Structure 1
Amino acid sequence: MQIKNILFSIGLFSLLCACAHKPHAPATTYTLPAPEDVVMYQVNPRVFAPNASFNAVGSYLDSIRHMGVNVVWFMPINEVGKEKSVNSPYCVKDYKGVNPEFGTMQEFKQLVGQCHEKGMSVIMDWVANHTSWDNAWMAHKDWYTQDEAGNVVFPAGTGWKDVADLNFDNPDMRLAMIDAMTFWVDSVGIDGFRCDAADFVPYDFWKQALDSLRSRSERPLLMLAEGKRKDHFAAGFDMDYAWNFLEGIRRVFLKDSCATTLIDIDRAEYDSIPAGKRKLRFTTNHDESVKMTPIREFGGERGSMAAFVISSYLHGGALIYSSQEVGHPERIDFFHYCPVDWSANSALRREYETLMKLYNEYPAIRKGELRTYPGCDVFTFEKEADGQRILVVINVRDSNQVVTLPEAWKNHVCANLFTGGSEPLTESLPLAPYEYKILKY
């Protein structure tokens, strides 16, 4: 009996030791969202801190999560080249390294883990079209596009003289690129890529790379193309950019177009997209904010929010750019550190939080059957799914408007989803400048 007790004690001690050394499970598990359910937040590390940005972003993750975000997109975190440099993060010196300005590889891995623990997936920018002039790949001159004299050139038709154009006719370069992408998925744990300048890169490379990544990965991946070529979806991308829709919203808010033109643009953008794929829609991103913020572009804070509701609620695919949620008034030069007051405009932050909470809570908003009602100054559409009927009415003008309601909604008491109260309707609905209503039947 004494021997049995000793053996039992040894076994129990071993079990306790094993448990003590077992890694703790994440506080919450995360699931990569389907493209139609994506709420994406774009992290520009250079608005969070002048250095050690990874740690600064980590301390802000709860605020990002509270906006209903389920995918965090990091702009390029690779080391920036020095030769001919303008300090652009899209000038990559090392495809498998991180920019010391932002922190260390271990700190980025920890940041990815933090995102996952908070229920958010992570994608990172991938710059496939070009590298810096001092990238180690320059040892292979045939990996780059050359002129007739044999000189490596920058991408044709651009002013991007700080980068060297890659030659996708070279199979060795392609394999090196795919190997580097695989490193970030397998060794760092990211969940996909936002592929920069995707329209510049041949279809057959994207097909080769995406097929290879997905065949090697045990996890599903989210692939976003910065481009609007229709063959991106055939290559395996899940989402691409809704550039045409952004231009349409601009024309509407400049009073150059009626709101109904957005219906035609939406239909054209989705005309040949496979089921389940999505256009990423936005009112700003790093390329746009370097020129003008949405608050200045769309007629002030109220106009910027009216435009955001249209871009995110009409057909899903929502994006928030870091600084947008606090209404940062000035343009952001992403080539250098730009301080943002994250405590500013708490009311605007709460508005984004409420809008995205509704977006996540009601599938009809993200992916319901769409019914539109023509109008020039007021954009009205209905979304229906799973027995939910939601009417979105948006004044796109900086003046008071009155819109005639659809027949089914006249003289009906609805739930005002944004305020949480009830909304008794009559034959028509008055709207203040840039006011919007989100109503549930």
Structure 2
Amino acid sequence: MGIVIASLFLISCNSSKPGNNADQDTDKLPGLTTVNHPEWSKNATIYEVNIRQFTEEGTFDAFSAHIPRLKEMGIDILWLMPVHPIGEKNRKGTLGSYYAVKDYKGLNPEFGDADDFSALVQTAHENGMKVILDWVANHTAWDHAWIDEHPEWYTKDEDGNLVSPFDWSDVADLNYDEPGLHKAMIDALEYWVREFDIDGYRCDVAGMVPVEFWDTARMALDNIKPVFMLAEAEDAPLIVSAFDMEYGWEFHHIMNHVAKGDLDADSIQAYFDRQMRRFPRGAYKMNFTSNHDENSWNGTVWERMGDGAYAFAVLSSTVPGMPLVYTGQEAGLDKRLEFFEKDQVEWKEHPFFDLYKALFELKHENKALWNGEFGGSFIRLESSDQSNIYAFVREKEDDKVVAIFNLSDQEGEYEVSGKYLAGEYTVFMSDETVSLSDKETMTLTPWEYRVYYK
């Protein structure tokens, strides 16, 4: 088990190119992030939109019809996977990867035109939601205009040939040693905020791009309007002054391993203990049970988490961090969506919709569950079986949440205790009230969760 934990920690931290952010001395980082989070983000939730697979049409217009439903579910931020034209040279599959960008200021014609995109953003804003775009700053498609116009902006091997990062053969790696690249990329980032009033970016493999670039880009964007920035990374220097939120990759992998029985509840607490010691504080973590990478390449929540899928959805929505829902999860998505081909989500009624709706209503209203420093304390409760039972209390001002999880496939009678447990509570997804003492005995079925709040 120790080997599994160590491996997860190394994977989550080792995402940068040599010489970039990974080389910075994290002991010298400030105690608190200097990012000024947008006020609206303090209790926000986020949803990843796969335009291609969302509807039969696979267009901005067709997706826009779903925005009121997502608002009803409690979604605040719509993260759109890349909307740019996809490269044709070295393309993977029939339709290609969204992350092989051919033109940073263009729109994928399969999705619609500028008017369609503007209407999507306007509809989201009218519903009180924000829109952030997926941005691929580390590499471009092989037929991007910069390949011919500015070959010096690309990474080359010892023979002077342009190279791909890893085995991503459909893209060419950019070289941020070139100041001209910084200027051109920031200009493109500014374009979407100025012209379409988007609200920020989710930045692909952000740790592979120098933090100095992101710091400058954030300042430039904030000069236009306050933006929200999400880094696909767990890289402390990025959240000092550039990004509001980073991925909770390590937590996600731990949940997958707990579901398989490779790790236990103590490994979850060990993760949060590490986070408490990590600087800078105040940045948000994004918690998730799925996303486009996990679904397409590693499996659905049912494949990875099995009968624990509901418990982990609740866990990831109640521990510190902002919960993410990926396209189709609320409909019980039970297939791996093709990444380079058309593969529409099958929309149907599913218990996940009502569960997420209730979780996000609680998050919006109960300050104990708010994001970052806006949220409440986080204290683990004692139990008679710490390896299988994960129970905690979160509290902020007059708001309080108690959550208890049986993270095993075994039914049992357990004792949960702690001085912060006692109180009068409402039972989650019920009008029932309950009085808890500082020591409670309860029988929990496999993967059962109980949430109480006031």
In structure 1, the partner of 2:105 is 96
| 2:333 aligned partner | 328
Aligned to 2:412: 401
Q: Which moved more, 1:81-90 or 1:195-204?
A: 195-204
Partner of 2:378, secondary structure, is: strand
CA distance in 2, matches of 1:270, 1:79: 41
The aligned counterpart of 1:192 is: 200
Output the CA distance in 2 between the equivalents of 1:247 and 1:148. Answer: 37
**In 2, Cα distance between equivalents of 1:348 and 1:360:** 18
8 Å Cα contact 2:53-2:345 kept in structure 1: yes
Query: Following superposition of structure 1 onto structure 2, how do residues 299-338 of structure 1 map, counting pairs within 5 Å?
Result: 299-300=306-307, 303-338=308-343
**Deviation sequence 1:294-353 (CA, Å, 0-9, x none):** 1221113xx1110111122110211010111111111112322222222232x3211111
1:220 aligned partner, one-letter code: P
* TM-score, with length taken from structure 1: 0.87
TM-score of the superposition, structure 2-length normalised? 0.85
How many Å separate the matches in 2 of 1:40 and 1:401? 35
Of 52-61 and 188-197, the range deviating more from structure 2? 52-61
Distance 1:413 1:143, change over 3 A: closer
CA deviation map 1:81-126 (0-9, x unaligned): 0000110000000100110111111101110010000000110100
Cα distance in 2 for residues equivalent to 1:178 and 1:52 = 29
How far did 1:49 drift?
2.7
Partner deviation per Cα, 1:189-242 (whole Å, 9 max, x = no partner):
100000001111111111222222223x1x210001000111101242111111
Query: Is 1:285 matched up with 2:291?
Result: yes
Change (3 A) 1:298 1:336: same
Once the two structures are superposed, the pairs formed by residues 378-393 of structure 1 within 5 Å of their partners are: 378-393=389-404
Higher relative contact order at CA 8 Å, sep ≥6: structure 1 or structure 2?
2
Q: Is the 8 A contact 1:81 1:93 kept in 2?
A: yes
Long gaps (5+) in structure 1: 1-30
Residue matched to 2:303: 296
Which deviates more, 419-428 or 406-415? 406-415
Q: 3-state SS of the aligned residue for 1:78?
A: coil
Change in CA separation of 1:235 and 1:425 when aligned onto 2, cut-off 3 Å: closer
3-state SS, counterpart of residue 37 of structure 1: coil
CA contact (8 A) 1:393 1:438 kept: yes
Q: In 2, distance between residues paired with 1:183 and 1:273?
A: 32
For the 8 Å contact 2:393–2:420, the answer to whether it is kept is no
1: distance between equivalents of 2:240 and 2:424?
A: 46
Structure 1 CA distance for aligned equivalents of residues 422 and 126 of structure 2:
47
Query: Contact 1:36–1:278 (CA<8 Å) still a contact in 2?
Result: no
CA–CA separation in structure 1 for the residues paired with 2:288 and 2:126: 27
Letter in 2 for 1:377: N
Superposed, 1:158-177 pairs within 5 Å as 158-177=166-185
What corresponds to 2:14 in structure 1?
A: none
Task: Report SS of the residue matched to 1:328.
Answer: coil
Describe the SS at the equivalent of 2:177. coil
Partners of 1:147 and 1:272 in 2: CA distance: 36
SS of residue in 1 equivalent to 2:272: helix
Structure 1: which amino acid aligns with 2:416?
L
Q: Alpha carbons of 1:66 and 1:385: their partners in 2 closer, same or farther (altered >3 Å)? A: same
8 Å CA contact 2:139, 2:174 repeated in 1: yes
| Structure 2 counterparts to residues 4-403 of structure 1, below 5 A | 33-86=39-92, 87-139=96-148, 140-155=150-165, 158-215=166-223, 217=224, 219-290=225-296, 291-300=298-307, 303-345=308-350, 347-366=351-370, 367-374=375-382, 375-403=386-414
Distance 1:32 1:43 in 2: 21
Cα distance in 2 for residues equivalent to 1:271 and 1:39: 25
1:405 deviates by 2.4
- Once structures 1 and 2 are overlaid, which stretch shifts more, 364-373 or 411-420? 411-420
Q: Distance in 2 between matches of 1:223 and 1:409?
A: 35
Distance 1:371 1:410 in 2: 10
Alpha-carbon distance between aligned partners in 2 of 1:381 and 1:337, rounded to the nearest angstrom: 42
CA RMSD of aligned residues (A): 1.9
Q: What's the CA shift string for 1:166-188, capped at 9, x where partnerless? A: 11111111111000000000001
Q: CA deviation at 1:147?
A: 1.5
- Whole-angstrom distance in 2 between the partners of 1:170 and 1:325: 44
Q: Is the 8 A contact 1:67 1:352 kept in 2?
A: yes
Distance (Å, rounded) in 2 between the aligned partners of 1:263 and 1:176: 43
Report the 3-state secondary structure (helix = DSSP H, G, I; strand = E; otherwise coil) of the residue aligned with 1:284.
coil
3-state SS of paired residue (1:279): strand
- Kindly indicate whether the alpha-carbon contact (under 8 Å) linking 1:383 and 1:391 is maintained by their aligned counterparts in 2: yes
Q: For 1:41-74, what per-residue CA distance to the aligned partner results, in whole angstroms no more than 9, with x for missing partners?
A: 0001122235452111100001111121111100
Q: Is the 8 A contact 2:137 2:209 kept in 1?
A: yes
Q: Could you tell me whether the CA contact under 8 Å between 2:264 and 2:407 is conserved in 1?
A: no
Residue 272 of structure 1 and its aligned partner are, at CA, apart by 2.9
Q: For the residues of structure 2 that align with 1:198 and 1:171, how far apart are their CA atoms?
A: 18
C-alpha contact 1:398 1:433 (8 A) present in aligned 2:
yes
Give the Å deviation of 1:406.
1.8
SS at match of 2:306: coil
1:339-380 residue CA offsets vs partner (Å, 9 max, x unmatched): 2222232x3211111111111111112321111024211110
Check whether the contact 2:381–2:416 (CA below 8 A) recurs between aligned residues: no
Distance 1:251 1:228 in 2: 19
Equivalenced residues, count: 404
Gaps in structure 2 of 5+ consecutive residues: 1-36
